[in-house]
Chains A and B, each alone.
Chain A
């Protein structure tokens, strides 16, 4: 039965030959296209990987403002990293295109020759192959770069310029306008010394031991760096401009702190002076009070003197009068002559004393008048002293208030000064955040996976490969759908026949095998 039913397949195929031929051709064409795309992409990818391995493609590269010092390089290599100097100069060729002049490589990103040899003399150069192609250069041709004529001794390419973008940010390779040449070390030194172009200090690296890209980058960023030696004027301008503003702010705050200190000191002096004024006025006030009381005592004394002298004067006069009277009255016995003489002496004396006392009286009177005047004056002085005392007291009180106010001002300015000092001490952090200048010698750090120049061809075709595979899957699905439609169509058309055969005892499996083997 199987063999009999199988006979329908070639007959079906024959009766629908054009349709099956068209379908087969379509499938074949699609498979061919997919295979061609995927296989060619794979070939490029595999070959690129092989070349990369053979030519020691870098693990990454970095560029610095200034060349690393020997110690810095040693610090890097001691950690197991291999470095390659890939310094370069961009110089105009005779036709106006830009040529990047580099030394020939020794350890990393070796130049692989397509034809010719490596440069041996200073006038020889290996030209990058795409540039050579665009400019129709062959081995033996001449190429003038920056006024120097080179003989093309070889044509090749290096893994780090597999896709020779001039800048990594470029969207497309333009080998008509940009290319590379590799010259001897001595020739490169000569060109770099004499060229007006700025040199780019690029290093290729291969990691070793347990070094990673991140660790290497951190190491280089921590290297000491004197930014003033950078020749890039725009860089210097930018840094100085940024630092100038910061310095201005720092100086301003320092001046503010100094001013606050001086103000504080001045107020301290003012406060001290006010205290002294207060003390002085207090002393004056006390003195005037004493003066007042003294003047009062003088006045009292003068008044008592005046009174006493008055009494003395009247007493002396009375005594003299009495004696004279007595003498005149002969009351005084001769035995009292002595008394009389004495009295006379006394009288004389008293007379003298009288005259003297008269003088004394007059003098005392004068003194009394004087003391009266003195008293009056002392009274005035007292009043004046009282007023002076009162005024001095007021002044003292005022000075006290001044002293208190000056003290408060001093305390307040003290706090202000403290606050400004605290601002001054913390302003550094604020300025660091505002002027976040992380000055490092590193201008760029590009890992291999991120370098658009490396494996450029492979990078271009990787999408082709995946696209081809995706297209293959889609086409297969499409064909499967088309074929299933054919099968369903046929089954629908012969459903009665299938049913009849099933009814007659043909198994499901046999029917399925025979009716989906060939889509119609």
Chain B
């Protein structure tokens, strides 16, 4: 798990979007699992995202008139080897909510649904853009705990962009940005479990 941390507005999401192939770079190089992203056409980028990436956004972005299960199924159909729906729902505590619509869920539940949607296709890399930005501290902790569990269970690499200073203590690698440049870049020697994070 890796965190890109920095204050708002200094371009934390930009490297995320570049890695995800959503923003077109003018120059430079991005390699994901040995695949060079820079220079790929739109179709190739779509295939790359479909095969390798999952996205989680600050404001969930669920399809409002599809149920939880159906929202997850949208991405389930994108892969030939999805994760087990029921297991995923169980892990994310959404089993009893599977038939509900997003408007019937709380913020944390919606974000869990978004995580499930992103994870169902078993991506190599999960890109999280302020996953706890719209949540309170308790719910944020719950989500971070989930991400930790998913990371341990499925081995999914996660790149989390956040301005939250506490999250960097639970991840393996920390990249701190300032003025659009990497100010600090290090590995945590000791990881604090997500459940014990303070000041979220």
Residues of A within 8 A of B (CB): 1-2, 4-5, 7-8, 11-12, 15, 494, 496-497, 499-508
Contact = CB atoms under 8 A, between A and B. Distances in A.
A504 B65 contact: no
B78 A505 contact: yes
Contacts of B74: 1, 4-5, 501, 504, 506
Interface string B101-131: 0000000000000100110010000000000
Given A503-B49, A504-B49, A11 B78 contact: no
A497 B65 contact: no
19 contacts: A1-B77, A5-B63, A5-B66, A5-B74, A7-B66, A8-B63, A8-B65, A15-B65, A496-B59, A497-B62, A499-B61, A500-B55, A503-B55, A504-B53, A504-B74, A504-B117, A505-B51, A505-B78, A508-B46
B20 A497 contact: no
A322 to B, nearest CB: 184
Interface residues of B, number: 29
B46 A497 contact: no
SS class, residues of chain A in contact with chain B = helix
Nearest to B51: A505
Contacts of A4: 66, 70, 73-74, 77
A314 B53 CA distance: 191
Interface in B61-88: 61-66, 70, 73-78
A11 B65 contact: yes
A1 B78 contact: yes
A515 B62 CA distance: 14
Top 7 nearest A-B pairs by Cβ distance?
Answer: A505-B50, A1-B77, A500-B61, A503-B55, A11-B65, A8-B65, A4-B73
Contacts of B73: 1, 4
Nearest to B102: A497
Contacts of B57: 496, 500
Given A1-B74, A8-B63, A497-B63, A504 B55 contact: yes
Interface in B120-154: 121
A1 B118 CA distance: 14
Given A1-B77, A4-B66, A12-B65, A503 B22 contact: yes
Given A1-B78, A494-B64, A504-B55, 9 more contacts: A4-B66, A4-B73, A5-B63, A7-B66, A501-B63, A502-B22, A503-B49, A505-B47, A506-B74
A8 B61 contact: no
Contacts of B118: 504
Contacts of A11: 65
Contacts of B63: 5, 8, 494, 497, 501
B6 interface: no
Contact of B61 (A5, A12, A497, A507): A497
Contact of A503 (B20, B76, B77): B20
A120 to B, nearest CB: 80
Contacts of A496: 57, 59, 61
Contacts of A2: 77
A506 B121 CA distance: 12
A175 B167 CA distance: 95
A502 B61 CA distance: 11
Residue of B46, B54, B63, B70 most packed against chain A (CB within 10 A): B63
Contacts of B114: 500
Contacts of B117: 504
Given A496-B57, A496-B59, A504 B78 contact: yes
